[in-house]
Structure 1
Amino acid sequence: MDNRISEIRRSIRALRVSVREAEAVMHEQINRDDDCTFVAQEIIRMRTVMSELVQERTKLGDTTPIVVASIFIPRRLPAPPRGRIPKRRLVPGAARVNG
């Protein structure tokens, strides 16, 4: 029974990581205004499997929280730091080129 609980806990950890990665992909697709139906369906499927595993784990008597170290790396680059914008000098009217 302990082996089955360990196996379930390992599967849940792996599913959590997969769901987070899939969610990141889905958010990128949404930001690009792409179709994210397939990824969304896969996330729902993974969550359904995870829910069934959690129910089985609870029936076996394991209620210890499962801690997953977050090694999530954002796919988007961070926003550049906001600094002062240098002032631009206006070109005097006489220096303009008339076309």
Structure 2
Amino acid sequence: MADYPYDARRRVDALINSMQALIQRDPEQEVRGVALGVVDAAISAVKAAKPNDPVVKATSELFSADQIASGEGVRAADLLVVAEQLAAAIGPYPVVIG
């Protein structure tokens, strides 16, 4: 349990919640600007915790510094799929008894 990536999981859970809220308001909503930097930070946290996971590797390659700097938006629905896959890579929170 000591090696479970709690911080990365909390970031991904927050990302999932944010993307779900955006999609409820507008299914075609795009994420831009500073928010993409935050998405990148969440992905980096998972990459640090699960560096050998193939989904995490592929995801981290999708968000480059150049893409973030370009200001080009990413659909919230696409980011939700990514965030849910990152959560799956981390796995569920450990069960604590006692």
TM score, norm. by length of structure 1: 0.41
Indicate the structure with greater strand content.
Answer: 2
TM-score, length basis structure 2: 0.41
Asked which structure has the greater CA Rg, the reply is 1
Where is the helix percentage greater, Structure 1 or Structure 2?
A: 2
